[in-house]
Structure 1
Amino acid sequence: MADRTERTIVMNADAADIMAVIADFENYPEWVSAARDVEVTESGPDGRPREVRFVLDAGVLQDTYVLAYDWDPDGRSVSWHLVSSDLQRDQRGRYVLSQQVPGSTKVTYELMVDLVVPMIGQLKRRAEKAITEAALNDLKKRVED
């Protein structure tokens, strides 16, 4: 992913437990503050979500969009790309999990968002940084609670 934002955090959990929370899209509204509604619209033959529809309400930013997911067979990473959106031209992201020792996993979140409305590069990076930090902190809280 060219021109993306990347953040890393260590979580006190095993990679499989973290990936299970990431894949549990229906429960995102319980712990992702901007997620108003999340629906798996298509699953793959392995039962994992293939396409997911999000209704996002982050105050000034409201969007309905669909992401397509690609799950790594080893269970250590998942990537996605934008299928459709009201406000986004493109979105690509990825979680990469690296089990350090039992009960401790390094989680890296990569994100690139391109909005339909032009945005200065510096503001775009700042917004991506805020999104990735919030996502990792919310994920950590959900996984460790």
Structure 2
Amino acid sequence: MADRTESSIVVAAAPAAVLDVIADFESYPEWTGAVKQVEILEALPDGRGKRVRFALDAGAIRDTYVLDYDWGVDDSGVGALSWTLEESTVLRALNGTYELSDAPGGATNVRYELSVDLRIPMLGMLRRKAERTIIDTALSELKKRVEG
């Protein structure tokens, strides 16, 4: 399960603006295709989610899962936001990172890294293809929401 899939995209906004959209978990159902409901179970003193429950409906995969977040970002939004899976009935692992860095022209380079493992057997090649689809969709939806 050491394999991880990653991709990146440039978003025409400052890192803080990108991070604001990523951190607004409760708005995910408005702009992500598969996330249908979000509940912040535990928040940090600054209001950001520490433990967050998601209800997912991605066609063949439906699940409710809880992620634990680690906010390694500075006040400008630069840094890494990582998460690990705490609870799920379908997923064995859903661990990832958004890494935000400055790009020319006041834009942000967003690198997304993800590893997924299901409780049902799946060929590594199919799992990596699913990871790639998740990443590409998430990055394009994020870009559209931020630049919207």
| TM-score by shorter chain over 0.5 | yes
Task: Answer whether contact 1:14 1:102 (CA < 8 A) is retained.
Answer: no
In percent, how many aligned pairs have the same letter? 54
1:42, distance to aligned residue in structure 2 (A): 0.4
Q: Please list every run of 5 or more consecutive structure 2 residues that lacks an aligned counterpart in the other structure.
A: none
- 1:101-144 C-alpha deviation (Å, 9 max, x unpaired): 34311100000011100100000000000000000000000000
1:47, distance to aligned residue in structure 2 (A): 2.1
Residue 140 of structure 1 is matched in structure 2 by 143
Residue 10 of structure 2 is matched in structure 1 by 10
1:73, distance to aligned residue in structure 2 (A): 4.0
CA RMSD of aligned residues (A): 1.2
> Aligned with 2:21: secondary structure?
helix
Residue 113 of structure 2 is matched in structure 1 by 110
Matching of residues 1-145 of structure 1 within 5 Å: 2-74=2-74, 75=77, 76-145=79-148
> Aligned with 2:47: secondary structure?
coil
* TM-score normalised by length of structure 2: 0.94
Q: Please list every run of 5 or more consecutive structure 1 residues that lacks an aligned counterpart in the other structure.
A: none
